Homo-oligomer: A and B are copies of this chain.
Amino acid sequence: MSDDRRQRGQEIRRSAFGENGEERWRALNEIDSGHAESILEYCFGTIWARPGLDLKLRELIVIAATAAQDLPGEVAIHTRGALNRGASREEIIETIVQCAPYIGFPKTNHALEAANGVISQWDDHPDWHA
């Protein structure tokens, strides 16, 4: 059922990003509610809900895929997601450093700075915690 997936997607999103993530989703929802629905139903309710890999590993994979496209904002978002899934600081930094030979140093440095910005402010941001 489509409604079930939407519901499941919302739960998976909340458990990754906390209240801070809700704000960004609501902003996208105001721009285009159909696109925002696809984020819940397809991205979080279908892809993230698949069995076969645990959620922490999925966060590390998405960090690699967004670092490779030089999207440090998304690296920061999914660093929050990875911490909320139980990843250690070391696993997140290690994921990015592993990408370096495959994406080059500039994109690697941007991703490291974005991830480190989240990690170093984690304790001061209860709104990032799910």
Contact = CB atoms under 8 A, between A and B. Distances in A.
Interface of A: 1-2, 5, 27-28, 31-32, 34-35, 38-39, 41-43, 46-48, 50, 52-53, 57-58, 60-62, 64-71, 73-74, 90-91, 93-95, 97-110, 112-113, 116
B68 A70 contact: no
Contacts of A68: 64-66, 68-69
Nearest to A39: B105
Ranked 7 nearest A-B pairs via Cβ: A68-B68, A2-B2, A64-B64, A43-B101, A52-B94, A65-B68, A42-B42
Contacts of A41: 42
A98 B38 contact: no
Given A43-B105, A52-B91, A112 B66 contact: no
Contacts of A104: 69, 100-104
Given A53-B95, A69-B106, 19 more contacts: A1-B2, A2-B5, A31-B93, A31-B113, A31-B116, A34-B50, A39-B105, A50-B98, A52-B94, A53-B91, A61-B95, A62-B102, A64-B65, A65-B68, A65-B103, A69-B70, A70-B71, A74-B106, A102-B106
A71 B72 CA distance: 12
